[in-house]
Amino acid sequence: MGKINQGILDGFNGKVGTVVGYFWKGKPVMRGYKRFMHDKHSEAQMIVRLRFAILSELASAFRPAALVGFKSRSKSRGNTEVNNFMQLNWDAVQAFNTADVAIDYAALQLASGSLPPVQFGSAKFDTPLTVEASFAPGSDLPGASNDDHVYLFAYNPATKMGVIGKAATRAAGKASVTVPSTWSGETVHVWGLVSGGAPDTIGRSAASTYLGEGDMA
């Protein structure tokens, strides 16, 4: 609340009625008071809340992969692996209005880091309830180890669930993930991840690789 000490023509500080007074370079200044209205039900606000809800749902399903892929980043930044997933993937959830929302699965990041990657081939869906992918190990890359771990992660949009496969070694050249029997015939998206397995690479990871989508046999 503003206060005028010597009449209406005197300078003042603070809000008085519909105006705000203050002093600038020793001179009294008065301007109109603008009330800021925040409409929690505006289209823009509803889109933000919708994107956040979808991303939170994804973060829950992708948590097994995030725990592998963001361990080092989480430690260095002092936050959780799930928080890192949400921070890095905000733009992958696209919304133009509340009825037009899409997820860019190829843009989702499940891991980040300086560990040398492997070169994944295409995901194969020939074996019932199993996704497989071969890869070039890249064991000769500086910082790589044959003992590093390679994973496949599969996400089913229909069930909103994700599954991570057992770790294969970099030297193995092949990784797989087995999905629940209820996923038979359903479409899944698949990513490849690499994390440190040797003593000097433990905790590190490489950027994840999107391997595409396919129907489970």
- Over the stretch 69-116, which tens digit does the pLDDT of each residue have? 999 999 999 999 999 999 999 999 998 888 888 999 999 999 999 999
In this structure, which amino acid lies at residue 20? V
Task: Indicate if the pLDDT at residue 1 is higher than 80.
Answer: no
Asked if 155 and 149 touch (Cβ cutoff 8 Å), the reply is no
Asked if 84 and 77 touch (Cβ cutoff 8 Å), the reply is yes
The pLDDT score that the predictor gives to residue 20 is 63
Task: Indicate if the pLDDT at residue 40 is higher than 70.
Answer: no
| CATH architecture for segment(s) 43-215 | Sandwich (2.60)
Task: Indicate if the pLDDT at residue 162 is higher than 90.
Answer: yes
Q: Name the residue ranges covered by the structural domains of the chain.
A: 43-215
